[in-house]
Amino acid sequence: MPRDRRRGVGRAAWALLTSLAIFGCSPDRSPSVILISVDTLRADHLGIYGYSRPTSPNLDAFARDALVFENAIAHGSETVSTCSSLLTGFLPHETKAIEFHALPLELETLAEMLQQNGYMTVAVVSNYVLRSKQGFSQGFSIYDETMAQREQVRPMPERVAEPTTDRAIELLREHKDDPLFMWIHYQDPHATYAPPERFAELFLDPDREPRLLPVNRLMTGRGRIPRHPGLRQMTDSTFGVLTATRPSLAPAASPPRYVSRRTGRIDLTGTRVEIVRPDGSSLWRRARVAASYCSSNDPRVLVGLGTDPAIVVVRVHWLGGDVEEWRDLEPRRYWTLRRGTSPERTPA
């Protein structure tokens, strides 16, 4: 394994183990470590970060005697990329684990490092994208990915909080005499926002009539419930009914699809955009919709150019096979590129 591939997890592990040493762990036994992650949990709705409602009494109690970071930022807006960084110390562009791309086996994880140092390594996960097939089981002696429930609007397995906690406690008791590294991942705050019945009416105002919010036609909220990719019954005049929840996987050569009978708009989802740099390298992006997060659901194709913003040509590979090129496009601004308007066009 190349030396530089170890440095990411080394940073994470060194920070973790140094922190444990500060808290006075016994030199006779390695300290046990429990890592708890919660999918899509909003910090600004937790009491420990100043929210007025008592949404998190147990976390608040834990925080009174704990070290609380007031400026903690996730490395990505999606579960796969963020958890990959959490477990390796590498950033998403280094792990390449984005969306449904697996965590590469050549990256050493925190679990592998601790396992090599005598730890019993255990994970209890509840989100389908974290299953072992995606590479997250690396270094775990026990990787419990049992998911007996189903999400309410998508045919995706999940495990809700109570069985997740029960299994974690069971494993903690089984390995109470071992130096233990345990990762517990909860799924519950994730869309589609279906709390247990005992919590559903916890914060209703008795003096106000409950107001039912309509489901938005787009992914944004704006006073409505954001449309989730799994709400197949939702349509709008722009995109109509999506033909796939993962349109970015549409073949580049497939014909354009008319998805709105009222407006006649063409679904260009899957169109590839190639940014050619001065050194001859290319950056590739796809036009896409229906991601689970607003940050990745922008209908515009956004490209990060780094410290060198120079562009030679923007080449658009339209669905159906046509290719058009635009030159002299300035960076740091938005451009609207319309099909059939480029002076340099290669028909399919």
Between 174 and 195, the more confident residue is: 174
C-alpha distances (whole Å) from 40 to each of 72, 190, 256 are 14, 6, 34
The tens digit of pLDDT for each residue in 249-259 reads 233 333 334 33
Q: What's the length of the chain?
A: 348
Determine the Cα–Cα distance for residues 197 and 136; give it in Å rounded to an integer.
32
C-alpha distances (whole Å) from 192 to each of 67, 79, 82, 211, 299 are 31, 15, 20, 18, 22
Domain at 3-17+30-186: CATH architecture:
3-Layer(aba) Sandwich (3.40)
- What letter represents residue 151's amino acid? E
**Burial of 266 from C-beta contacts in 10 A (0-12 / 13-18 / 19+):** middle
pLDDT band at residue 74 using 50, 70 and 90 as cut-offs: confident
Determine the Cα–Cα distance for residues 167 and 59; give it in Å rounded to an integer.
20
Considering the entire predicted model, what is its pTM?
0.64
Question: What is the predicted pLDDT for the residue at 124?
Answer: 98
Determine the Cα–Cα distance for residues 144 and 171; give it in Å rounded to an integer.
10
Q: What is the mean pLDDT of residues 206-233?
A: 64
Beta carbons of 131 and 158 less than 8 angstroms apart: no
Report whether pLDDT(102) > 60.
Answer: yes
Contacts of 283 (CB under 8 A, 6+ apart): 274, 275, 277, 303, 305
Query: According to CATH, where is 3.40.720.10 located in the chain?
Result: 3-17+30-186
Other C-beta atoms within 10 Å of 50: how many?
10
Beta carbons of 141 and 120 less than 8 angstroms apart: yes
Q: What is the mean pLDDT of residues 58-62?
A: 94
Residue with tokens 């345990």: 182
- Backbone Cα Rg of the chain: 24
pLDDT band at residue 29 using 50, 70 and 90 as cut-offs: confident
